[in-house]
Amino acid sequence: MNNFSIISSILDNDFYKFTMQNAVIKLFPSVKTRYELINRGNHFFPKNFANSIRENIDKMSNLKLSNEEKIYLKKYCTCLDSSYIDFLEKYRYNPKEVFISQKGGNIKIYIEGLWSRTILWEVPIMAIISELYYKLTNSNNISNIKIISSTKKKLNIYKKLKVRIGEYGTRRRFSYNVQKLVLKIIKKEKYPFFTGSSNVHFSHIFSRSPIGTQGHEWIMLHAAKYGLNIADRIAMENWLNIYQGELGIALSDTYTSSIFFKNFNKKLANAFKGVRHDSGDPVIFIKEVIKHYKKFNINPLKKIIVFSDNLNPKKISNITAFCKKKIIPFFGIGTNFTNDVGLSPMNIVIKMVSALFKKKWISVIKLSNVKEKSTGKKNMLILARKNIHYIK
């Protein structure tokens, strides 16, 4: 049994969870959802691992927004209105929404309840699983001195490239302390092109605005309600209505990029500041984005691509070279910052799998540009892949 709390602040979460929660409260307040843990890496968990997760989750019921954190949100997260911040101040995690079981080395986790509540569970639970896994399997990481040296080396590479970067590593971090150490190094090095962290708690600690916009589940829910072929468009339109042009990065691969571009019409292409790439060949995607913008007589050099798919210095260098004088790149670096400690990072995700509409549970899928990142029932994915080529 462990006697420490891995999650010690309600803000120890990714910013896009709060921005989506704000939108969900306004547009889908009565929708219920279900999420499940997907063990992509087939990790074997030690005995009583589920009990350790449960202990940490139960402790999260005590978390609440402090007055200091509330003041921070009002100052640094101006896209969140006062009614939402008041909601968050009253919000408490309910551990009864999380169901955990273990059989041998396998664990099962599912989360069920109002989407406006359950949306905050995913990232902290993944951070809990990751940190506990390394602690309870006696996986010793490299020393802080080596982490500092490695992070500085990466920053020097990025500095020479003059690339804008952000830190996106909460969900698969080696530990809370490693993530904090990496952000301390970035601050100390005064890296000129660092735009911030997606983690709101650490952004508060370091007095910066957090970064992030929306996740795949925002579009997945729209697909369950409106259909796969128009989900991207309606999700983007709803996002624009909520945020009036702020947080203007469109997510491009919930139902493959080909479907996204069919939905990304001239109005939306102009309204959004750019797009996010999270799966598939980045060079092919860059070419597709530029071609799409030019079709609408939009100058690609005034638009951004946010890259967030398993980045490292070599990938960033290659992507930067290809983007030069074509389009503006930005890089959201996750695991390579917060779990580059000489061990294999965990390969787990928690994804929405169904949504309740009119007393009927509707299966939810994600049809990524790459098969291994797709989620949902196999028969639904097969059907979607067959039909996707016929969507006009």
Residues 38 and 122 in one domain: yes
Residues 219 and 101 in one domain: no
Q: What does pTM read for this prediction?
A: 0.96
Nearest to 222 by CA among 233, 211, 212: 233
What mean pLDDT comes out for the span 291-304?
98
The rounded radius of gyration (Å) of the Cα atoms in the chain is: 20
Residues 182 and 318 in one domain: yes
Count up the domains in the chain and report the number: 2
Q: What is the pLDDT of residue 389?
A: 56
Compute the distance between CA of residue 262 and CA of residue 57 in angstroms, rounded to an integer.
41
Residues 309 and 373 in one domain: no
Return the residue matching tokens 């098969």: 371
The per-residue pLDDT for range 230-239, each reduced to its tens digit, is: 999 999 999 9
Residues 323 and 351 in one domain: no
Residues 32 and 165 in one domain: no
- Quick one: pLDDT band at residue 384, thresholds 50, 70, 90? confident
The rounded Cα 385 to chain-centroid distance in angstroms is: 24
Residues 57 and 105 in one domain: yes
What mean pLDDT comes out for the span 159-177?
97
Give SS3 for 80.
Answer: coil
Residues 313 and 177 in one domain: yes
The per-residue pLDDT for range 200-209, each reduced to its tens digit, is: 999 999 999 9
Q: What is the pLDDT of residue 354?
A: 97
Owning domain of residue 108:
15-139+346-388
- The rounded mean pLDDT for the chain is 95
Q: What is the pLDDT of residue 3?
A: 59
226: pLDDT strictly greater than 90: yes
DSSP 315: H
Say if 3 falls within a structural domain.
no
Residues 261 and 194 in one domain: yes
Residues 378 and 289 in one domain: no
Report CA torsion sign: 201, 67, 119, 247: negative
Residues 118, 97: contact at Cβ < 8 Å? Answer: yes
- Please provide residue 162's backbone torsions phi and psi, each rounded to the nearest 5 degrees: 60, 45
Q: What is the pLDDT of residue 140?
A: 78
4: pLDDT strictly greater than 80: no
Read off the CATH number of the domain in which 276 is found: 3.20.140.10
159: pLDDT strictly greater than 60: yes
Residues 165 and 122 in one domain: no
351: pLDDT strictly greater than 60: yes
Residues 331 and 358 in one domain: no
